Amino acid sequence: MKIGILTFHRGINAGGFLQAKGLSSFLTSRGHQVELIDYTNAAQKKLDHEAIYRTRHPLRLLNNIRKQRSYLKAIATLPMGVRIQSAENLSALDYDCIVFGSDEIWNICNPFSAGDLTFFGAGMGSGPKISYAPSFGSTSLDDPKLASLSPLLAGFEAISVRDENSLAIVESLTGRRPDLVVDPVLLSKPDKPIKNAKTAGAIGTYLMGPSERDVQRVCQFAAEAAKDLCSIGYHYSWATHNIAFCDPTDVPGLLAGCDLVVTNTFHGVVFSLKNRLPFIIVSHPSKDQKIDTFRRKLGLSTVTSETERIHENHVNQLGSENQILAGWIDESKGFLERHLSA
């Protein structure tokens, strides 16, 4: 079967890159001919450009450009299909099925998607389409803008989402209960740990925009444990070591090379679960809803804003024998195999 995937794949973000790589690799392993539909809307292009060039600090600008180059090199390895400029071009694509997802392509409050109906199949016509693990992100169930999506969602042959908030929204709009599936990063085998002078014996941090208080608590925890802090994917002055400009494919392996991971992001949790790492979740107001499904389903502990200090009892670790996660991954693979038969 020739399959096109429509997702966020060009952002300078390890989670976005690796979810696109994970889904395309899994479907390829099942005998399909797979391409990423090369679509990026104007809002995405603008925000990606601003993220690199808005700083006036010369060293930060240089570092941003170095990071961008490492991502562009990695993105060039993805199975890229035809580039399209608008939703209307979808109907002309020659695919047996288009898979929408994963990531927050359905988050109508996210400036990257900006309410772009292309990610809901607008302009595609009646061709076969399913979704795999998209998210409505921070979109509220009572957002009035959701009502217009009902006809578009009704055109999907099968729908799956990655979190309970998205599940509730789809069920409310369509009367259908979608499947709850894992992020496609979890569909592949564990990563080989990358141990080097910076990661070995260190606490690896994968933190996006941590608050000053969060930084203080993380640094205090590391000092009490007599361990260095190694920031992966982001450069922070408070970290003992930084590995900010690596190939995004290496991010999970670099985290696996550390003794422990501290994260406040959805994909930081995903990378930790995939490699069965010990990890600590630090609550973040804009990211908590993304992680809530993992917390409830897997019983994960979180360092909240009320937590004075980080302790050992905040460490989560799921072994390879964990049947809840293993079963969830198998069910997710089954969803794709049922609805995409070669």
Q: What is the pLDDT of residue 59?
A: 78
**In this structure, what DSSP letter does residue 142 have?**
T
Long-range contacts of 223-230 (CB under 8 A, 24+ apart): 227/201, 227/202, 227/203, 227/259, 227/260, 228/198, 228/201, 228/202, 228/203, 229/202, 229/203, 229/205, 230/198, 230/199, 230/202, 230/203, 230/204, 230/205, 230/258
Q: 240: which strand partners?
A: none
Average pLDDT for residues 99-108, to the nearest whole number? 92
Question: Does pTM top 0.85 for this prediction?
Answer: yes
Average pLDDT for residues 55-66, to the nearest whole number? 80
Q: How confident is the model at residue 342 (pLDDT cuts 50, 70, 90)?
A: low
Whether residue 290 is predicted with pLDDT greater than 90 in this model: the reply is no
Whether residue 205 is predicted with pLDDT greater than 90 in this model: the reply is yes
Whether residue 57 is predicted with pLDDT greater than 90 in this model: the reply is no
In the chain, the percentage of residues whose pLDDT exceeds 70 is 99
Least confident of 52-66, 96-110, 133-147: 52-66
